[in-house]
Structure 1
Amino acid sequence: MRHFFVIVALISAGCNTPAREADHAATSEPRTSEPRTPNLEPRTTEITLTPDMIQRAGIKTVAAMKGPATTSLHLPGVVQPNAYKNVDVTSLVSGRVTQVKAELGQAVMQNEILATVYSPELADAQTAFITAKANRDAHGLKLTRTQRLYAIGAASREELEQMTAQATEMDRMLETARARLVLLGIPEDKAQRLATPADVVTTFDVKAPIAGVITKRMANPGVNIDLSTALFTVTDLSTVWVVADLYERDFASVGVGSPITITAMAYPGLELRGRVDYIDPQVQAETRTAKLRAEVPNGGNRLRFGMFVDVSIGARAARPVVMVPKDAVQTIGAKSVVYVSTAPGRFMPHEVTIGDTMGDHIAITSGVEPGDQVVTEGAFFIRAEHERLP
């Protein structure tokens, strides 16, 4: 009977063993964890490094300095011609273009001949002046003779007054003809030399009113023109306008006279300086901005119309800030961090608010105090050690 109970106990133990092993396998099976995302938030744990680690990483520090900085705005701008030096060239006479001497993009001097126009109007004006002058000269002889006859009683006073009135009317007509010639571009001295039809000039030279570059050319031989027809556009490129949109929130910090710096992607390293000379008094309803304009020098004609540039506008007053080398600032996620040496071999990350870049330094508006020893070389090594901390 005792042997029977032993056999039953062994059979029960053998049956329970697989179940226990299955339970153990289930509990010991590794769990699949979700992929971990790197923590991009800057942690404030102090990092401790040995002197050997500092030497191998080449870690160096400098003291943060206090210095003045100006608040600046960065706006996109567009280069436009200086409207005060952008002149449409028209002819003083109507007629037909017979010759064009200027090409698009050509540099011209003031009073340089750009085109020639054949003008019957100009010829008619000269002929009218010659006729008026001849009539006045002939009438002058008659008036002189009448005055002599009146002096000896051979002519009546009525005849003398009539001749004098006619002379006055002819003087008026002659002056009108002369003034018309001046308006048509014939100088006074040249008009006085007109005596016969052989002296009449039938062509007119269209000249450049200013020195500059031909930016538009509409003139071609054979084209009939009138006084309102634009033949060319001459632009003085020595200065250009840069126009940008100024937002309402910045109206208080920017005014006429604020200094600006212009940079362009086309010319790395080039900085052109000027001042704001106009702010539109009207705000655009769609964008809530006002047009800002600055005149800047354009040496070498490098700035071209329509080119996009960056406009940096300095504030009206400077304010004290902390300056650190640009290499000291590390970007972790969306935050800026500076590593500060708190003691030999000890470094603490400081989250900072950065401002404007000034050469090799950058302004820090919060997070670092003047005199703090900030890491400028080897910051990547400290960052790596920092991220390894639990």
Structure 2
Amino acid sequence: MSASNVFVVSRRFALLSLLSCVACGKAEKPKAVSPSEVKNPVKESQLTTVAITAEAEKRLGIRTAVIKADNVQATREVGGEIQAVPGQAVTIVAPVQGTLRGGAGITAGQRVRQGQTLYSLVPLPPERDLLTLDQGTAQARTQLQVAQARLARAEDLLADRAGSVRARDDARADVALAQRALADARARQGAMSGNTGGGQALPIKAPLSGVVQRVTVAPGSVVTTNTVLLELAALNKVWVRVPLFVGDLRRLSPGQTVTVRPLNGGAARPAKPVDAPTIGGTAGTATADVFYEIDNADEAFRPGERVAVDVALGSGDSAAGGPGATSATTRALTIPAAALLYDASGGQWVYVHTAPQQYTRHRVEVQRTVGDQVVISRGVKAGAEVVTDGAAELFGTEFGGSH
């Protein structure tokens, strides 16, 4: 074998050895195992199309509305606090010192009507008479004993025909007066020891219809003059305190109303501005407190409650005495509020009409509410048709709650 052939064989052998080592190294490396695996993944949009028959569509009363891009009033959502109207919140105090009766069922949050008796107060004697209570009782007891002795002698004389009927009757009257005086003296003593039986009580009545805000005394307590018993607030009208950024005050039109919404999702209602001076808010926040009044005959709002307030803003100068702010609008997608649905976790959805008798559920993001329209920031496009009437029925059909 020539030298050149030996060299070729040697190169082939070396190359085969190298490939064998590389293959061995790959075979020894363990294969990674995934801890989880999703089989047949499907996008959310492919699971949310509901196909129904024309008959079912008619039976469910399906109606749609076109998503529009409208000019929407610029608004600012801020937090507010419900307050009782000044002058419509009263503090009831004890007119004189005494012992309280009744009031066991009065608690904070309870509704009361005007003229309703809240407590009965058994007055105590003035301070200067407290030291003579025992002496007065003893004196009344002695007077009764003397009157009873006179009555006994008058009856004995009348029985022996030595006395008169008039003298006996006068003695009986003296006994009755002495008994009354002793009873009053004992009642005054009993009031000091907490026993109010038999004493004359003063009724303490509600001066207006409203809700009890705070109770500060317990039934049976001995109170002094002007002791605070409870606080009562009329709630047929309430104020909402709104801290507004001072830069937004110039964008408010004179007489402009705002919309107040409970944080628990209850119905919103308008509030009109109060003719009261704007006062400074919290130091360092560059805000000022503005007050609005709400009709609250159903007592849906309570003092101290936190609410959301939608304030419409203009673009001009509406300072005091100025011409008023020019309405400011922005371009946004709007849908009827009836088209919006919520799932169990708070997700917001609408059904879009994508084909005849086919409706696809789309997740949306709500920016705010303007009247009966909802401003959508994303999730749908202008021109699409969303279901208004029958949206809840489609939701139930999709998840098995409707047949």
User: What TM-score comes out, normalization by structure 2 length?
Assistant: 0.47
**Which protein is bigger by CA-based radius of gyration?**
1
Q: Which has the higher strand share?
A: 1
